[in-house]
Structure 1
């Protein structure tokens, strides 16, 4: 059961916060910057209003998740720190003497309360409205790009995942006391998940029994991660790898298994829109959605800045129709000329190759026809015929018995003359210099907020992680600019 409105905290110790949580404290600034009551209003229908025990405030639960993202900590560690960190308690609207939640409550909150909530757009719209209200966003340009996140439950077997995490834990222990290996359980050599789980549980028990070793931060973090895997996520390991994650290509020679987050950002480095897709999706196809979402959040847009992935024909037409300048260099292999089955074959700009609807990338390409003559040139992309023969989607794509599978596009040099001329303008060249900002933002998301790896399995959970992470970085950026 939840109350229809928040109640005031009455404690004789509240004055402690004025002494220990200074005006320059980031969490105090966030609390003063944003009224989180919109979270209560948005999630109210997810709770019963008449029956059951009193539920923990959804605002407080959401703030726990925000802290988890800001400081890149596990559920267990964020709850543990909130026991003694007064800035955390202040941010969570707790009395100094008040007890904390059980870490498992955060998992239930994510699964039960945040399900079917469009958290991504809601949180981005809220932070953008604050930035606009404070006069922080003055530009009328958005910079677009995508960053990838590897699946937590990747293509490794469940046993391999447990082996990897237990190995990291042992290594951190050996750095402190190498003699611990003498009392560790014997490593499992049987190729059974149940035996690996048993070994990991025994390893955890031995380390936790040594209170001195277990309290070292570098040990504790890896211990908590292995514990969470065993206690909370083991059912994911037993079922399968991440069912939603897909293989995407970073270059022609490297790939990843996971998701892509497509981002639009103002020149002031406030993220104005985002969409999250599986790893194989094309960058350029998300541009229209990013523009529409940014405008819905309150942005006035006259320029979009991106790389060659966004310069495909449909995007040029859409931006022209909406009187928006597209600062993205043309790529002949993507944007020029006519090609068949556009929905079935997507161009990967990092690898410079086309990818079929099954996620298989072309292995080579060849250009036919002479340059600067009246006849058109053609780029032909060749796929691995052995993969095509056994592909589940080969019907209507691969003809049985064919010795090769190719995909061709016709290049026409006169299709994008206006865009070619725009590329030579000073405006285009100056605005292109702003693109580096979004690369730095992607790095911040990954290396400071744990966005390099998904925190759970499934596209819905990745969207939830993206929403809270982007909210955190936007709030930090707003505070920095106001400061």
Structure 2
């Protein structure tokens, strides 16, 4: 249960924080900037108020998750650092002598307390609210884009993935302690995943009990990853074939297996809305949702900037109905098709091809001949029928024994003609120069904060990672803008 009353820390050592945590420390600044009581208000219904033993305060548990993405740490390494890093304990509102949590508590918190909580909207709205209160959001413009995150377990079999992680541990141990050669158990020879899982547990036990280097960071980090994988497998039951991850295409020749985060960002580089999806989803479909979420968060919007993926006809119509300037360079083949299709295909602007609902990319394209010269020309996209023949979604899409599978789109519509004229204006060209800012933001999410790879399996885990990472990045940006104003 959680206490109904706020508790006060009466430790005689609290004054240490004033001596060792400088005023410009980022964690101190975040604590002073944000009233985290909104987390308690959101999560208190997930706890019992009058039965059972006292739970770890929800705000503290959330702050652990925030520290995890700020410093890109595994659960075990996060808890270990929290034992001795006084800035962590200060941020967590603990006394210097307090014990930290067990890392398994973080797993339970994510799975039990954050279910059915729209965390990503909640956290983004909070940062936008703070930015508005501080007078930092003055622009009426958002930039939209999507960034991809690889699934934690890629497209490997469970056995292959477990083998890879246990091998990383053994290799790290051998490099530092040659005496460990021959001390690990024999590798399983069957294809049973349960045997590989048992072997991984034995590797952990051997390293922790027989090796002299178990506490050296180079070994400990890989050991902690292996432990998390074992725990994730036991709770997820199947992980390397992530049930939610999908194949997305970065170009005609390169693909990834994972998820996408669709983002709207203000001109001040504060993220105002985000939607986390599986990897095959088209960027352009989420423009309207991102704009509406940004408005709900408190943004006034007059201009939307995006790449060619956002110039679909329905987005042009939406922008016109909402009196928005849509700065999205037209791609001649991004339309809604003929309007007679029952099954919707997505256009992948990076590959320059359409993707079917099953996630398969077209293999070539060609102009279709049109006998009626008064009608707009069409582009035909051809798909690999060998894949279509065995596709689970072929019903209503592919006819048995058909010699080809194509998807045809009209090249130009009235809306596109209007946009084509607009994109030649100086105003369009000047505003379009701002799009680079969101590319830098995507890089910031991925590199310092570990958003290149999912930290857990499934869309739910990805949504939590996205929510906490964006929250951290937004807070850092707000602090920077405030410091620039001083």
Normalised TM-score (structure 2): 0.95
Task: Map residues 298-447 of structure 1 onto 2, 5 A cutoff.
Answer: 298-335=298-335, 338-341=338-341, 343-369=343-369, 374-412=374-412, 415-447=415-447
Q: CA deviation at 1:413?
A: 6.3
Q: CA deviation at 1:40?
A: 0.8
Three-state SS of the structure 1 residue aligned to 2:402 is coil
Q: CA deviation at 1:184?
A: 3.2
Q: CA deviation at 1:418?
A: 2.2
Q: CA deviation at 1:232?
A: 4.3
Per-residue CA distance 1:131-162 (angstroms, 9 max, x = gap): 11111222111111011112223321111111
For residues 414 and 115 of structure 1, the distance between their equivalents in structure 2, rounded to whole angstroms, comes to: 45
Match of 1:53 in 2: 53
- Report the CA distance shift for 1:95/1:138 in structure 2 as closer, same or farther (over 3 A): same
- Report the CA distance shift for 1:211/1:28 in structure 2 as closer, same or farther (over 3 A): farther
Contact 2:334 / 2:411 at 8 angstroms: preserved in 1?
no
Match of 2:230 in 1: 230
Q: CA deviation at 1:370?
A: 8.6
For residues 240 and 87 of structure 1, the distance between their equivalents in structure 2, rounded to whole angstroms, comes to: 36
1:208 aligns with 2:218: no
Match of 1:119 in 2: 119
- Report the CA distance shift for 1:449/1:460 in structure 2 as closer, same or farther (over 3 A): same
For residues 243 and 386 of structure 1, the distance between their equivalents in structure 2, rounded to whole angstroms, comes to: 24
Q: CA deviation at 1:195?
A: 2.6
Three-state SS of the structure 1 residue aligned to 2:126 is helix
For residues 212 and 477 of structure 2, the distance between their equivalents in structure 1, rounded to whole angstroms, comes to: 38
- Report the CA distance shift for 1:65/1:471 in structure 2 as closer, same or farther (over 3 A): same
- Farther-moved stretch of structure 1 (145-154 vs 324-333): 145-154
Match of 2:454 in 1: 454
For residues 476 and 392 of structure 2, the distance between their equivalents in structure 1, rounded to whole angstroms, comes to: 46
For residues 300 and 124 of structure 1, the distance between their equivalents in structure 2, rounded to whole angstroms, comes to: 15
For residues 297 and 414 of structure 2, the distance between their equivalents in structure 1, rounded to whole angstroms, comes to: 37
Contact 1:347 / 1:355 at 8 angstroms: preserved in 2?
yes
- Report the CA distance shift for 1:315/1:343 in structure 2 as closer, same or farther (over 3 A): farther
Q: Which runs of 5+ in 1 are unaligned?
A: none
- Report the CA distance shift for 1:62/1:437 in structure 2 as closer, same or farther (over 3 A): same
Paired positions, count: 483
For residues 164 and 456 of structure 1, the distance between their equivalents in structure 2, rounded to whole angstroms, comes to: 17
Task: Map residues 217-256 of structure 1 onto 2, 5 A cutoff.
Answer: 217-238=217-238, 241-256=241-256
- Report the CA distance shift for 1:208/1:325 in structure 2 as closer, same or farther (over 3 A): same
Which aligned segments of 4 or more residues in structure 1 are displaced greater than 4 angstroms?
A: 237-240
Three-state SS of the structure 2 residue aligned to 1:144 is strand
Q: CA deviation at 1:237?
A: 4.8
Per-residue CA distance 1:442-480 (angstroms, 9 max, x = gap): 111112111122222222221111111111111111112
For residues 405 and 237 of structure 1, the distance between their equivalents in structure 2, rounded to whole angstroms, comes to: 37
- Report the CA distance shift for 1:41/1:5 in structure 2 as closer, same or farther (over 3 A): farther
For residues 5 and 473 of structure 1, the distance between their equivalents in structure 2, rounded to whole angstroms, comes to: 31
- Farther-moved stretch of structure 1 (90-99 vs 419-428): 419-428
Q: CA deviation at 1:396?
A: 1.8
Per-residue CA distance 1:309-333 (angstroms, 9 max, x = gap): 0010111111111111001100111
Per-residue CA distance 1:151-206 (angstroms, 9 max, x = gap): 22332111111111122223333443444334333333432223322322222222
- Report the CA distance shift for 1:438/1:5 in structure 2 as closer, same or farther (over 3 A): farther
For residues 67 and 38 of structure 2, the distance between their equivalents in structure 1, rounded to whole angstroms, comes to: 18
Per-residue CA distance 1:45-73 (angstroms, 9 max, x = gap): 11111110011110001001110111111
- Farther-moved stretch of structure 1 (412-421 vs 24-33): 412-421
Task: Map residues 26-37 of structure 1 onto 2, 5 A cutoff.
Answer: 26-37=26-37
Contact 1:153 / 1:237 at 8 angstroms: preserved in 2?
no
Contact 2:305 / 2:432 at 8 angstroms: preserved in 1?
yes
Q: CA deviation at 1:235?
A: 4.1
Q: Provide the aligned C-alpha RMSD in A.
A: 2.0
